Amino acid sequence: MRPNYLNPLFLPITKLNGVGPKIAPLLAKAIEGEIVRDAAFHLPSNLIDRRFNSKISDAPIGISANFEVEILSHENAHKHRPYRVIVSDDTGFMTLVFFNPNPKFLKARLPIGEKRVVSGEVVEKFNEKQMVHPSRILNLGDEALNVAFETIYPNTGGLSQKTLGKICHEAAGLVNIPVEWIDENLLKREKWGSFNDAIKAIHNPQNPDEIKPEFWARRRLAYDEALARQVLINLNSVRRRKVQAFPLIDKTGLTQKFLSQLPYSPTNAQNRAFKQIEDDLAQNIPMMRLLQGDVGAGKTLVAAYSMVRAADNQMQSCLMAPTEILARQHFANLQPLLAQIGIECKILTGRDKGLKRKEILQSLASGETKILIGTHALFQEGVEFHNLGLVIIDEQHRFGVNARRSLMQKGIMPHVLTMSATPIPRTLAMALYGDMDISILDEKPANRVPIDTLLFDLERLDEIEAAVARAIKNDDRVYWVCPLVEESEKLEISNATERFNQLKKRFGNLVEIVHGQMKPVEKEAAMARFKDGDAKILVATTVIEVGVDVKEASIIIIEHAERFGLAQLHQLRGRVGRGDKKSFCFLLYQSPLTENGKIRMKKLRETDDGFAIAETDFELRGAGDILGLKQTGLPDFKFIDLFSHKDLMEIARQDARLLLSQDPNLESMRGKAIGDLLELFELNSQIIAD
């Protein structure tokens, strides 16, 4: 039951003053929620310093300032000129410039002969001082003139900052929590105020430092959120261990037989992962393990080893991949290896229909098929397993929580192994996978060829095309990666369709294209032509980022590399160097590079250590961009900045473990307050039933 003091925060946003039918959808989009709490938790992202007053003659260029001016005249917009309002003070003249204005509104807001305070940045143009679209126009004596700093909130079109700020302030005023869930010693050590005080302080910053992640109020709120998530993770971990799973032991030596017929020897890191997974599977507690490895570290072999262990116990296993290309890649690699030891492996994707699908489902339901590989199709209605004992999820962060849960529910508490080819910094791993044990593959197979990474200005595109021509004469294959599928009016950057058409003029049918908007059958046909060598150049978007394995590909060209994150560039680079040919990665950039861009390009040239690259990417760009901004697996943090609050994540983890060891059912006074904290962040619904 939700305590009464939280009820006002869970009211719909329409209960806030001024939020009617027109404002509500705009507000919901801006705050990413539909209840009062979401408005209270919507933090300012910037401050405008309103303290600086200036005379027109002294106006600093490019710095926001306030000017007390008299309105002299209005000049209506002409075909080639915007609407102009001429103003002055006792030191000179200035022009206020408006594009697509409402003249009637401006004449009422800026009446000739009266004085106003206008705020904004001044520019010098056409031998005059101009202010384009003043950020505010106030009457003399307006209360807003007494505000030193004006908060700026992340917003959406159609909603003014003034309206959004007013709503968020009102919502923050409704926060009235009478209990304290943070340990008293930690509060004193960190010198934190109450939750109520922190929310109010965060919405009323008194200087620019008070909107930074290091401000005490933001740290306090970040810790509240971290503690709630760590309590949830640890509660579920404890409760999961009470559930019985089917132990998967070494019954007939099938896993050793599987390893003995491999054409290569596993790395030490793979052998270490085999042992860790072996120990987990032998328990009657469901395994929850993350297998994290750099590009080409051999995660698929570890997955196969785990599935063979399940088959040795007459249990079924499945491997779910985020794309059809990756699912079919896994199937192509695993099916012949498994067939050698007599294990039947099948694939199921959304493309499998009719009689073929029916046969696969019947074989699965009877238990004849021991291993199934597929996409989202695996957890759809109608897919029934005979005795699913092991679930493997590749690139877990690309699936939503409900998708993962739906697949696990196909078995009775199956063991779970998730895999990630995106190296994840420890802090982020703790936030994403805090309830899992982690195996790390930090070695690459001995036969992996080093990749030379070279930087080229986009103006040298002709040289790159000439290099491609030489490469395909040597029967090399070339990936050519572009950041967009089609032309964009907003971003003047290369796109896959345009590059494909351009290269096709020179290289004809040797060029293929793959992107996410193509139908699966079209993508697979294009990939097959490239893999078979009928096409030598594959123009692609980041759909090839993970899992695509063409050993003959020795060159990858990435256009507008400055637009990609470090971790993503590293993933793309890993598409080459998989055979025995010397391999190259050409990073094409648009000059001039930003300082961040220079750091990223330098890091890629210095190292191929994915974990070191991920740490740098994490520091420069944050968690969302490492995994993709819209990835559904990333928690929707309200207050936590994973890089700035790394120390808080660790403290919260230890605090949650200690608390639950002493009060596993949250029955103490603090335990009950923690229960309210879980309710506040809407995490109670994610607790596994005891």
For 114, residues 6+ apart whose C-beta sits below 8 A from its C-beta are 70, 71
pLDDT at 614: 75
DSSP 561: G
In terms of CATH, what superfamily is 287-441?
P-loop containing nucleotide triphosphate hydrolases (3.40.50.300)
What share of residues in the chain are helix, strand, coil (percent, to 5)?
A: 45, 20, 40
Q: How confident is the model at residue 626 (pLDDT cuts 50, 70, 90)?
A: very low
Q: Where does CATH 2.40.50.140 sit in the chain?
A: 51-146
Q: What's the mean pLDDT when you consider all of the chain?
A: 87
Q: Where does CATH 3.40.50.300 sit in the chain?
A: 287-441, 451-607
Q: What is the pLDDT of residues 208-226, one digit of tens each?
A: 899 999 999 999 999 999 9
Among 192, 188, 195, residue whose Cα is nearest residue 228: 195
pLDDT at 404: 60
Q: What is the pLDDT of residues 423-435, one digit of tens each?
A: 666 666 666 666 6
Percent above pLDDT 70 for the chain: 91
Say if residue 572's pLDDT is above 80.
Answer: yes
Pull the structure tokens for residue 690.
């005891």
Q: What is the rounded distance in angstroms from the CA atom of residue 92 to the CA atom of residue 90?
A: 6
Segments in 45-182 forming alpha helices (H): 103-109, 161-173
pLDDT at 237: 81
DSSP 342: T
Instruction: Report the range of poorest mean pLDDT among 218-232, 268-282, 289-303.
Output: 289-303
Q: What is the pLDDT of residues 449-480, one digit of tens each?
A: 788 999 999 889 999 999 999 999 888 899 99
pLDDT at 486: 65
DSSP 286: P
Q: What is the DSSP string of 634-690?
A: S---SS--TTTTHHHHHHHHHHHHHHHHH-TT--SHHHHHHHHHHHHTT-GGGSPP-
The residue type found at 260 is S
Specify the 3-state DSSP secondary structure of 379. Answer: helix
Instruction: Report the range of poorest mean pLDDT among 4-13, 251-260, 406-415, 598-607.
Output: 406-415
- Across the range 189-211, mean pLDDT stands at 95
Specify the 3-state DSSP secondary structure of 184. Answer: helix
Say if residue 33's pLDDT is above 70.
Answer: yes
Q: What is the rounded distance in angstroms from the CA atom of residue 360 to the CA atom of residue 126?
A: 74
Query: Are the C-beta atoms of 134 and 96 separated by less than 8 Å?
Result: yes
Say if residue 186's pLDDT is above 90.
Answer: yes
pLDDT at 396: 62
Q: How confident is the model at residue 550 (pLDDT cuts 50, 70, 90)?
A: confident
Pull the structure tokens for residue 292.
């994290």
Q: How confident is the model at residue 175 (pLDDT cuts 50, 70, 90)?
A: very high
Looking at per-residue pLDDT, the higher value among 122 and 633 belongs to 122
- Across the range 599-607, mean pLDDT stands at 85
pLDDT at 632: 37
For 547, residues 6+ apart whose C-beta sits below 8 A from its C-beta are 321, 323, 325, 326, 329, 330, 394, 421
Q: What is the rounded distance in angstroms from the CA atom of residue 99 to the CA atom of residue 28?
A: 29
Query: Given 2.30.40.10, 2.40.50.140, 2.60.40.420, 3.30.43.10, which CATH number is that of 51-146?
Result: 2.40.50.140
The top-level CATH class assigned to 451-607 is alpha beta
